[in-house]
Amino acid sequence: MREIILISFLGPDQPNQFTRLMQVLSVHSLQILDVGQAVIHNQLTLGIVVASDNETATALAMKEILILAHDIGLTVRFKPISYAEYDQWVREGGRTRYIVTALAPELTAAHLQAVTKIVSSQGFNIETVTRLSGRLDLDQHSIFPPRACIQFGLSGQMLDAQAMRAACLSLSGELNVDVAVQEDNAYRRNRRLVCFDMDSTLIEQEVIDELALEAGVGPQVAEITERAMLGELDFQQSFRARVALLKGLDASVLPKIAERLTVTEGAERLISTLKALGYKTAILSGGFQYFAEYLQAKLGIDEVHANILDVQDGLVTGEVKGAIVDGARKAELLRQLAEKMGISLEQAMAVGDGANDLPMLSIAGLGVAYRAKPLVRQNANQAISSVGLDGVLYLLGMHDKDLNRA
């Protein structure tokens, strides 16, 4: 009769352990049906599911495993698995799987308890728990701001996606922890294009507000900008109204404004990492081409699309050249870039903070609202607010230990 057995090992991790265990199983021709291993602080947890039609061979293998485990300091347990249990496990292998990423300056037990409570309420089973952030040095300060990231691998079917999204957003506001939920499919592991909004995303400022300060119309423009970003005003209408207020501004101030722009925390590390790993990057901005190109040169962005501020005789005319890059145009540009690269939209990622970013966030395989307005956070696929822009790398499944080599 065919036997199926789960062998579980626990104890100190040492070189060559796995090879020696496999040697015993090989001698007795046991079939390996599944295997999984994790090591935390040099402590090993290893599980192996084996099968055999030869009861004598199985018994001899178990005896030798017990002797070997004792010799190398491992505790070992054997658990018979019924055909019914194994068959159910096989059938569950085809079920949709999800990845939940918890991200914050510091993750406490309270954070993880709250996240896993949401997970459990949706009927998921946690299969893997992985730390993506680097090892915490208690004595020295990192050159990067504090951050922690834990990734949960889940099995099961989501009961109510809308309810889970609402719970994650609520938790983010209560505990300053970002929780991203993604389907774990081939597209998630093969993003190729990342498109960014510029103002208040790659840079901390809204450039049109900086221009308005130089033109002496700061308060008027800032009020319109805020209402537009909150989604209270049509972008094109509000944009033309703000640009009109800049009429007569001396264009010689543009380089001065560019030099004082502040790159968002984590943006330089994010872009340099994406470049090193072969991703294509683009700025799709409702701001101005001059500043997008300045940022392109500074960060090494592959492509930029923004509005062209009309200048005649050294003065801003209060108009823009060509079509305005609004929300619909951003989404269309993202489609064009993906098509040019020969990739699916599922392989594209978009990051932005304003209402005019929602169209591109909604069509990208991964849309991330970064330190965004409430309307945008509620409608985007994912949201990050607790850490710098390079926190996006964790949503791509990257480990800090790997990023240090990129």
Phi, psi of 248 (to 5 degrees): 95, -5
Contact in structure between 321 and 328 (CB atoms under 8 Å)? no
Report the phi/psi class of residue 243: left, alpha or beta, with left for phi > 0 and alpha for psi in -120 to 50: alpha
Beta bridge partners of 43: 12, 40
Contacting residues for 227 by C-beta, under 8 A, at least 6 apart: 233, 238
Distance of alpha carbon 341 from the chain centroid: 21
**C-beta separation of 50 from 30 below 8 A:** yes
Query: How many whole angstroms separate alpha carbon 159 and alpha carbon 120?
Result: 10
The Cα 196–Cα 281 span in angstroms is 8
Q: Count the Cβ atoms, other than its own, within 10 Å of residue 15.
A: 7
How wide is the angle at C-alpha 152 spanned by C-alphas 146 and 155, nearest 5°?
170
For residues 7 and 80, what is the distance between their CA atoms, to the nearest angstrom? Answer: 9
Helix (H, G, I), strand (E, B) or coil at 122: coil
Is 400 catalytic? The answer is: no
Among 71, 87, 178, 197, the active-site one is 197
- Give the three-state DSSP class for 15: coil
DSSP 136: P
Instruction: Copy the structure tokens of residue 324.
Output: 């305005």
Q: Identify the active-site residue in 13, 178, 199, 209.
A: 199
User: Which of 45, 42, 370, 80 has the alpha carbon at shortest distance from 196?
Assistant: 370
Whether 178 is catalytic:
no
CA–CA distance, 79 with 56 (Å, rounded to integer): 17
What's the start-to-end Cα distance of the chain, in Å?
Answer: 52
Contact, 389 vs 200, CB < 8 A?
no
**Residues catalogued as catalytic:** 197, 199
